[in-house]
Chain A
């Protein structure tokens, strides 16, 4: 076998091995990223749902035996939640409605829906992932809603 053939073979085998390593590790990285994103979304969704329920409890406490006479203080609740801007390094969105808090990312495509048990009406909303505020305001006899806004 000539020196040239040996040289080419060495390079070819080396390149194949390197590609195998890159492809294999890339797959592992993708799988781990997906897992990390889903884990983070689950935790963030549950934190958001717990705080929605917390705001709901406060809203109902504010309504219990509330005086609706003119000139009295409105029932008002605001709960600030410090959520991170990214889930495992990926930006995400938080959607909320009467039944659940849904958190999702586009790349990788992952969605987690966490049901909540809030009994107060929730205004459906979708906000960018990050610090949020859950608000409740009610005056007079009209219905009150929980609203989620970005901070």
Chain B
């Protein structure tokens, strides 16, 4: 059987002699090992910090503003639709229109608050003020064929759309448009006027041309009727049919410029269709118009106060809502 018992302690190794050198070397190795271990731990910590920060960087920075912009767009879009629906419902007077908008904004506030509370955001929406105006509509065939005042002494106009019947338009060219074509005259009280002509170009397209101070106009854009019974000429939205047509509305009549101007329909017998516009008078609540029979009280614009808060973000503003107003 093998002898596994421990022998007596080696005196030389413990207390000197040749064994002392081995013990010193071991001490050196121990210190070197300790230095390397500490260094490696430090390196690991640094590496970890680098990996963490680069991971954070590649994960992408969450855009803090996306939801606030979404809330604003929802509030402005909702308030715009509310104003449009209120005006289309033809309220009996301005106080009725204002009450509808006020109660609609309260409902919108409740809906938006509920929707964003689920996502951890707090919203508050309230109506600050309302500007009154008139919504004027009419058949082109029913207005004075020579000149009919659509809106007199107004400071702002929005949602000014003429749905023309392409077959009813006079066929002409820019040179003959001044006398023959249906046109809208925008007469600025501080001087100067802009005419927007709508006619059938010689190629059968619905053509829009603009002129200044009664001079021969320049064709701006045209669109083929493609069998449609109505083609929309959106003057304030600067669109013809489904295409943009920049340059229809004069820059001088865009908010915040508050010059008075007059909108007149001229040569209405040279076109068929319907006209719609909402305008804000320079004074009072209603605009003067020759189409008084079909003009109704309307809300021109509303100012809503919007507040949105999350743990990291605060966004507050007062927004003017006037859907269909020409862009500055």
- Contact mask for chain A residues 45-65; partner B; CB cutoff 8 A; 1 contact, 0 none: 011001100110110011111
Contact between chains at A75 and B46 (CB < 8 Å):
no
Chain A residues near B45 (CB-CB < 8 A): 89
Chain A residues near B312 (CB-CB < 8 A): 79-82
Min CB distance A67 to B, Å, is 4
Contact between chains at B65 and A88 (CB < 8 Å):
no
Contact status of A29 and B42, CB under 8 A, knowing A18-B35, A67-B319: yes
- B18, B46, B305, B312 pick with most chain A CB within 10 angstroms: B46
- Nearest neighbor of B325 in chain A, beta-carbon distance: A65
Contact between chains at A72 and B128 (CB < 8 Å):
yes
Min CB distance B308 to A, Å, is 10
Contact status of A54 and B64, CB under 8 A, knowing A29-B43, A36-B49: yes
Q: Which one of B24, B36, B307, B320 lies within 8 Å of A25 (CB-CB)? A: B36
Contact status of A69 and B303, CB under 8 A, knowing A10-B21, A10-B24: yes
Contact between chains at B313 and A79 (CB < 8 Å):
yes
Min CB distance B253 to A, Å, is 17
Chain A residues near B68 (CB-CB < 8 A): 58, 61
- Nearest neighbor of A56 in chain B, beta-carbon distance: B65
Chain A residues near B57 (CB-CB < 8 A): 42-43, 46-47
Give how many B residues have a beta carbon under 8 Å from the other chain's beta carbons: 46
Stretch at the interface among B25-33, B200-208, B240-248: B25-33
Contact status of A66 and B65, CB under 8 A, knowing A25-B36, A36-B50: no
Check if B61 is an interface residue, CB within 8 A of chain A. yes
Chain B residues near A33 (CB-CB < 8 A): 46
Chain A residues near B107 (CB-CB < 8 A): none
- Contact mask for chain B residues 311-328; partner A; CB cutoff 8 A; 1 contact, 0 none: 111111111110000000
Check if B69 is an interface residue, CB within 8 A of chain A. yes
Contact between chains at A43 and B56 (CB < 8 Å):
yes
Complex Cα spacing A142 to B112, Å: 31
Check if B146 is an interface residue, CB within 8 A of chain A. no
Q: Which chain B residues numbered 59 to 97 have a C-beta less than 8 Å away from chain A?
A: 61, 63-65, 68-69, 72, 76
Min CB distance A127 to B, Å, is 17
Complex Cα spacing A14 to B306, Å: 74
Chain A residues near B175 (CB-CB < 8 A): none
Contact status of A73 and B39, CB under 8 A, knowing A10-B24, A39-B50, A65-B319: no
Contact between chains at B320 and A66 (CB < 8 Å):
yes
Contact between chains at B32 and A46 (CB < 8 Å):
no
Q: Which chain A residues numbered 1 to 31 have a C-beta less than 8 Å away from chain B?
A: 3, 6-7, 10-11, 14-15, 17-18, 21-22, 25-26, 28-29
- Nearest neighbor of B57 in chain A, beta-carbon distance: A43
Contact status of A40 and B32, CB under 8 A, knowing A75-B317, A77-B315, A80-B312: no
Q: Which one of B28, B47, B316 lies within 8 Å of A73 (CB-CB)? A: B316
Chain B residues near A64 (CB-CB < 8 A): 319
Contact between chains at B49 and A54 (CB < 8 Å):
no
Q: Which one of A18, A42, A71, A76 lies within 8 Å of B32 (CB-CB)? A: A18
Check if B129 is an interface residue, CB within 8 A of chain A. yes
Contact between chains at B128 and A77 (CB < 8 Å):
no
Check if B118 is an interface residue, CB within 8 A of chain A. no
Check if B53 is an interface residue, CB within 8 A of chain A. yes
- Nearest neighbor of A72 in chain B, beta-carbon distance: B318
Min CB distance B72 to A, Å, is 6
Min CB distance B209 to A, Å, is 31
Contact between chains at A43 and B53 (CB < 8 Å):
yes
Check if A123 is an interface residue, CB within 8 A of chain B. no
Min CB distance A87 to B, Å, is 8
Contact status of A18 and B28, CB under 8 A, knowing A62-B317, A79-B312: yes
Check if B12 is an interface residue, CB within 8 A of chain A. no
A-B contact pairs, 8 of them (CB 8 A): A18-B32, A25-B36, A29-B39, A61-B315, A63-B317, A67-B318, A69-B128, A74-B318
Q: Which 7 A-B pairs have the closest CB atoms?
A: A62-B317, A14-B28, A72-B318, A25-B39, A78-B314, A43-B57, A76-B316
B interface with A by C-beta (< 8 Å): 18, 21, 24-25, 28, 31-32, 35-36, 39, 42-43, 45-47, 49-50, 53-54, 56-57, 61, 63-65, 68-69, 72, 76, 128-129, 303, 305-307, 311-321
Given contacts A72-B318, A88-B49, 5 further A-B contacts (CB under 8 A): A14-B25, A46-B57, A69-B303, A73-B316, A78-B313
